[in-house]
Structure 1
Amino acid sequence: MSSELHDRPDSPCIGVCSTLFDEVCKGCGRTAFEVSNWVFLSEAEKQAIWDRITQEGTAMRFAPERS
């Protein structure tokens, strides 16, 4: 679901969560703290996280789609 205010999804989550045993989710690239507190973060905080995970580009969210 996309936000009407942005051209990005409301959350970086792609449903491939790995924050139980890892500090950083392999699916979206957020820390366990960021995942669990996402709904409480300001738009500026969310944007900073989006910027960081996009720049890092290591999460599965940013992997090229495979056919």
Structure 2
Amino acid sequence: MSDRPDSPCIGICSTLFDEICQGCGRTAAEVSNWVFFSDEEKQAVWERITREGTARRFRQG
């Protein structure tokens, strides 16, 4: 595996009114079900949010 954390969460959550969390880039369903995901499912989410690169987690500065 890689040296990245298990969860993409950076503690800046905004899924209350948005379908996509502005902090980590996951959907509300992905956030709430993360602990139940397999390693493969987590990897797929990490790949997608990294590719999209729109969440605060991936912004510089």
**TM-score scaled to structure 1, two decimals?**
0.87
Q: 2:42 aligns with which of 43, 46, 51?
A: 46
| Aligned match of 1:37 | 33
SS in 2 for 1:46: helix
> Aligned partners of 1:55, 1:10: CA distance in 2, in Å?
17
> Aligned partners of 1:41, 1:6: CA distance in 2, in Å?
17
Q: Which has the bigger relative contact order, CA under 8 A and spacing at least 6?
A: 2
Cα deviations by residue, 1:10-47 (Å, 9 ceiling, x for unpaired): 10000000001100000000000000000000000000
Count of matched residue positions in the alignment of Structure 1 and Structure 2? 61
Unaligned ranges ≥5, structure 1: none
Unaligned ranges ≥5, structure 2: none
State which structure, 1 or 2, has the greater radius of gyration over its C-alpha atoms: 1
